[in-house]
Amino acid sequence: MKKLLILAAVTEALTGLTLLVYPPILVRLLFDSEIAGAGVFASRIAGVSLIALAVACWPDRNTLRPFFGMLTYNLLVTLYLAYVGISGDVGILLWPVVALHAGLSVLLVWAWRKQRDSAGRVTGNPSIIDESIRKIA
């Protein structure tokens, strides 16, 4: 799962860097629209946020937290971009990006289940998970 999380983090960081440096290209390719004024500033803030997401989701010994962060992001982006595409604002890369995020969501869940099944339980920091289970019980 670590390799998949690293791939997702690098992809989001590069997307964020593109938004930070030159947002009009990504807006044109995704939504077939122009961007101006405050939209440029908002896109650059989104770029900074994607870079922060990439840093926050970089895996370490505990892959559970980065996994849930990246999965949540990918599922929500898939749903929102599909909604935008159905509404009609479609650029040349919109549907491929929807498919990419949906596919990445499926791969993340698959990798998590495979890792969980091979370990016999949810991976991550066992002391935190065991303590949480004890509090619930």
Give, for all 137 residues of the chain, the pLDDT tens digit: 899 999 999 999 999 999 999 999 999 999 999 999 999 999 999 999 999 999 999 998 888 899 999 999 999 999 999 999 999 878 999 999 999 999 999 999 999 898 888 876 554 555 555 455 555 65
Cα separation, 123 vs 96, whole angstroms:
32
Residue found by looking up tokens 């995704």 in the block: 30
3-class secondary-structure state, position 124: coil
Sequence-distant (≥ 6) Cβ neighbours of residue 124 within 8 angstroms: 62, 63, 64, 65
**In the chain, what are the domain boundaries?**
2-126
Which DSSP symbol is given to 108?
H
